Amino acid sequence: MPAPRTILLTGAAGGLGTLMREALPAYGYALRLFDVRPIEDGDGGEDAGEGGGGRNIVTADLADKEALREAVRGVDAVVHLAGISLEAPFEKILRANIEGTYNLYEAVREEGVRRVVFASSNHAVGFTPRPATTPAEPGALIPVNTARRPDTYYGLSKGFGEDLASLYWDLHGIETVSIRIGSCFPEPTSVRMLSVWMSPADGARLLHAALTAEGVGHTVVYGSSANTRLWWDLSTARALGYEPQDDSEPYAPALIAAQGELDPANPDHAHLGGHFCTNPPIWPY
Ligand SMILES: NC(=O)c1ccc[n+]([C@@H]2O[C@H](COP(=O)([O-])OP(=O)(O)OC[C@H]3O[C@@H](n4cnc5c(N)ncnc54)[C@H](O)[C@@H]3O)[C@@H](O)[C@H]2O)c1
């Protein structure tokens, strides 16, 4: 597979999309941006050239099949971040995350794109009991083939996306790396995030590995930094060539002093999905 150069980045107006459209051009990618929300700034090495019809920013909904086809036309790969990123009523999740991801894969198939990187989530397995891990006593890490235990309709939709990716590989030969992202933010802001944090720089490293590794078929990986308090197994991500450089541990003393260690008796601390299992944050729109 020739190294991909032009990438469609869906969800480019969002938190992760903004971080990645800043970080990915350093790897040599030209980006085409897609989001239902307008993207004001045009920085970040977007592609206005061949195949892009001069439209390097596409403001459209994942429900708009024609806009999606036009957006994927001529790109080498798609990084699919767009969708509802919190819990929401099932009808909204159905439209944006389930039908929207189906529409994206259909556009990819129709336009002959060969590689997708899908933003899955730890919430696809959110009801998995978290390992009792501490820096002194690391627990057994959760493998990617652990049974799906979604903690929300949101997590359910990520399991759907992973299975859709599997189907499109087996049926149509379209390769996908599904990344069960932990929490990708500039810094960890909670004790839970010490275990699931992915630094933006490691996020870009992982996307680059997922875009360039040979023969991925459909591969599921967890997305996080090399955290001392890691809960899950990064071996399938490392097999793609991902070498995380960051660890949340330097943030641990201040966060633990402010919030305390995770209390196993607290239901919010019992599962990988944290408070999504008991009191999920609701998508505001
Ligand atoms: N940020 C994280 O730590 C994290 C963790 C796990 C999974 N993820 C996944 O990564 C992706 C990006 O996360 P984020 O934190 O940037 O979320 P976000 O909510 O900040 O961004 C999502 C973007 O998708 C766009 N979008 C939503 N519905 C759309 C539709 N129907 N058509 C077109 N665009 C639509 C929104 O406008 C938004 O800009 C999401 O799929 C999320 O589920 C993120």
122-139 pLDDT per residue, tens: 999 999 999 887 777 777
Q: What residues flank ligand 1, with Cβ below 6 Å? A: 11, 13-17, 35-37, 61-62, 81-85, 96, 100, 119, 121, 181, 183-184
- Please state, in angstroms and as integers, the Cα–Cα distance from residue 231 to each residue in 8, 129, 162, 263, following that order: 31, 10, 20, 16
Delineate the domains of the chain, giving CATH numbers in brackets.
Answer: 6-277 (3.40.50.720)
Q: How far is the CA of 240 from the centre of ligand 1 (A)?
A: 24
The alpha carbon torsion through 104, 105, 106, 107 (nearest 10 deg) reads 50
Q: Is the pTM of this model over 0.85?
A: yes
50-95 per-position pLDDT tens digit? 444 445 999 999 999 999 999 999 999 999 999 999 999 999 999 9
pLDDT band at 42 (very low <50, low <70, confident <90, very high): low
Three-state SS for 17?
helix
Cα-only R_g, the chain: 18
Spell 127-165 as b/e; 16+ CB within 10 A means b. bbebbebeeeeeeeebebeeebbbbbbbbbbbbbbbebb
Does the structure show a pLDDT above 90 at 285?
no
Amino acid at 18: T
Kindly state the average pLDDT of the residues 173-190: 98
Q: Which atom in ligand 1 lies closest to the alpha carbon of residue 283? A: 19
Kindly state the average pLDDT of the residues 18-45: 88
State the average pLDDT for the chain.
93
DSSP for residue 253: H
Testing ligand 1's pocket by substitution, the residue of 85, 91, 92, 94 carrying the most ligand atoms inside 8 A of its CB is 85
Q: Which atom in ligand 1 lies closest to the alpha carbon of residue 80? A: 41
Q: How far is the CA of 237 from the centre of ligand 1 (A)?
A: 21
Q: How far is the CA of 197 from the centre of ligand 1 (A)?
A: 17
Query: In what side-by-side order are the strands of the sheet with 77-80?
Result: 57-59, 30-35, 6-10, 77-80, 115-121, 175-181, 218-223
- Please state, in angstroms and as integers, the Cα–Cα distance from residue 137 to each residue in 133, 134, 143, 222, 231, following that order: 6, 5, 18, 21, 12
